[in-house]
Amino acid sequence: MIGAIVMGVLLPVALFFLLGLHTISQFLTIAASTFLTWGVADLLANILERPRLQGRTPGRAIREDIQRRAE
């Protein structure tokens, strides 16, 4: 809940004012892109937390999956 508020509202407002933007469409674009980025990062973090992936780097996990499929 906190992440949604920060990434969907507070960060876009800060960027909107710091970048000196003027239109509502610019604000909505920033809000959508930061919220979407946060969602994708959260999804990838959840995938990497799975027990079979713990303690492995993403590159190592991909290499092991390719080797397992090749056998």
The pLDDT assigned to 70 comes to 85
Rounded Cα–Cα distance for residues 34 and 68 (Å): 36
25-47 per-position pLDDT tens digit: 998 888 888 888 888 888 888 87
- Grade residue 52 by pLDDT with cuts at 50, 70 and 90: low
Q: Specify the residue for token string 């390719």.
A: 66
Q: Specify the residue for token string 């919220």.
A: 35
CB distance 38 to 1 below 8 Å: no
